[in-house]
Amino acid sequence: SDLNFADKIRHVRDPKRRMGIVWAHCKTKMVCEADEPKEEGAEADVDDPKKGHGGCGHIQPLIRKEGLKLFVQYKRPKDDDEDVKSLQPDKRLFTPSEVYT
């Protein structure tokens, strides 16, 4: 979907460096972008069909590792009340059963 990103990782042969590039690109993505809805009346582009990735539109959490435990932390939306902004974001343990579901 992102040609610039695909070009960056295409020429990197070292798996650790390639994973570092992927991590740096993906850590800024905070929303699972949903596919654009298909219009019923519009004709489909036969020359260049755009592939979707099946995004859900869900807000993605920050995952932090402390020792052997993983913690999930969601950032609060900017439109919340002023009292809520002073509180720390929700941080909870990410259990192994949640990882596999």
Q: What is the pLDDT of residues 89-101, one digit of tens each?
A: 678 899 989 888 7
pLDDT class for 25, splitting at 50, 70, 90? confident
| 3 and 32 fall within a common domain | yes
Q: Which residues contact 56 (CB under 8 A, 6 or more apart)?
A: 32, 34
Cα distance between residue 15 and residue 7, in whole Å:
15
Q: Which residue has the tokens 């402390």?
A: 66
Same domain? For 44 and 76 the reply is: no
Is the same domain home to 5 and 22? yes
Q: pLDDT per residue over 26-78, tens digit each?
A: 888 888 887 776 666 556 555 556 666 677 888 888 888 899 999 998 877 66
Residues 89 and 53 both lie in one domain: no
Domain with 20, as residue range(s), is: 1-60
- CA dist., res. 73 & res. 80, Å (int): 17
Q: Verify that 41 and 73 share a domain, yes or no.
A: no
- Same domain for 76 and 55, yes or no, is no
| Cα–Cα distance measured from residue 62 to residue 54, given in angstroms and rounded to the nearest whole number | 21
Answer yes or no: do 47 and 87 share one domain.
no
The number of distinct structural domains making up the chain is 2
Phi-psi region of 67 (alpha: psi -120 to 50; beta: other; left: phi over 0): left
pLDDT the model gives residue 77? 67
Residue 43, pLDDT score: 60
Identify the residue with better confidence: 83 or 27: 27
**pLDDT reported for residue 93:** 92
